[in-house]
Amino acid sequence: MSDFYIITDSGCDLSQDRVDSWDLGYVPLSVNLGKESKYIYADYRGLGVKEFYQSMRDGAAPTTSATTSEQWVEAAVPALESGRDVLMMAFSSGLSGTYQSSVMAMSELRERYPNRKIYSPDTLCVSLGLGLLIADVVRVRSNGADIDEALAYIEAHKMEIAHWFTVENLIYLHRGGRVSKASTIAGSVLGIKPVLHVDNEGHLIPVNKKRGRKASLEAIVERVAETIIDPENQDIYISHGDCWDDVQTLEEMLRKRIKFKDCYANYVGPVIGAHSGPGTMAVFCHANVR
């Protein structure tokens, strides 16, 4: 039976249209702004994404809270009751406790539904890197793969999902412990922009530093051009921290270097954006190395 149910979370940064058309379950993480805590859904109900980024530009310092196992259980039960198997695709264990909550839910659900298959692989992906991996799983499901074949696909290909990031302001990464205070001060004075990636353990790691926005985008394009697999047969995904003009610029830069099928772009949602800040730019593709 290939009709298994896929559940993901706010860390995938997919649009509501894709969540709906791909029949995805969705577990929201929460963002804490001052004394308010808001669940983050794909349609940003309750906390508009532009409103969120403006609050950060105005000095807000949001924090995030992982999902609970109860949320994953609640999302999975209707599918299990209807006779479907369930594949949980949480974002990277290297960046959140959300994956662990999905594993706890999996253990509980296996006891309650011993005749159903329930899996929660560690995707080691985040933002539209996770979105891209989900797109692949949706495709193999539509081609007739069952849940075991989908799980095997994830384990075989998740290390191909390259994540390349740059940020506009280092202060947000400093708050999350990603860069030192000295680097943050120097970066602010000198206009240094880090280039980061998600490594094989699912952690966000600085790779190098460039002076100025254009240089950091050029560095990302160079990394993608050097490592992308079979570009003419794949889409490139771009996520952004409320900077649509840069999306268009980056897509044009990529197309000058690479012939690829299509480009899908969406916001870096508030869950990831709370740690990367306004002006974040990220590119995701299938590559021979992360």
CA proximity to 198, closest of 254, 124, 272: 124
* Predicted local distance difference test score (pLDDT) of residue 191: 66
pLDDT tens-digit readout, 26-45: 999 999 998 899 999 999 99
Provide the sign of the torsion angle of the four alpha carbons 280, 281, 283, 289, taken in this order: negative
* Per-residue pLDDT band at 3 (split at 50, 70, 90): confident
* Per-residue pLDDT band at 186 (split at 50, 70, 90): very low
Residue 255: in which H helix or E strand, if any?
Answer: helix 244-257
- Residue 90 DSSP symbol: P
Q: Is the pLDDT of residue 185 over 50?
A: no
For all residues of the chain together, what is the average pLDDT? 93
Share of the chain above pLDDT 90, in %: 84
pLDDT tens-digit readout, 62-114: 999 999 999 999 999 999 999 999 999 999 999 999 999 999 999 999 999 99
In the three-class reduction of DSSP (H, G, I as helix; E, B as strand; rest coil), residue 237 is classed as: strand
Q: Are the CB atoms for 127 and 272 separated by under 8 Å?
A: yes
* Predicted local distance difference test score (pLDDT) of residue 176: 56
pLDDT tens-digit readout, 209-252: 888 899 999 999 999 999 999 999 999 999 999 999 999 999 99
* Predicted local distance difference test score (pLDDT) of residue 219: 96
Residue type, 143: N
Check residue 195 and give left, alpha or beta (phi > 0: left; psi -120 to 50: alpha). Answer: beta
* Predicted local distance difference test score (pLDDT) of residue 187: 44
* Predicted local distance difference test score (pLDDT) of residue 17: 98
Tokens 């791909």, residue located:
22
CA distance 73 to 42: 19
Q: What is the pTM for the complete model shown? A: 0.94
CA distance 242 to 225: 25
All domains of the chain, ordered by start, with CATH? 5-158 (3.40.50.10170), 160-286 (3.30.1180.10)
Share of the chain above pLDDT 70, in %: 93
* Predicted local distance difference test score (pLDDT) of residue 190: 46
* Predicted local distance difference test score (pLDDT) of residue 52: 97
* Per-residue pLDDT band at 194 (split at 50, 70, 90): confident
CA distance 128 to 134: 9
CA distance 172 to 186: 14
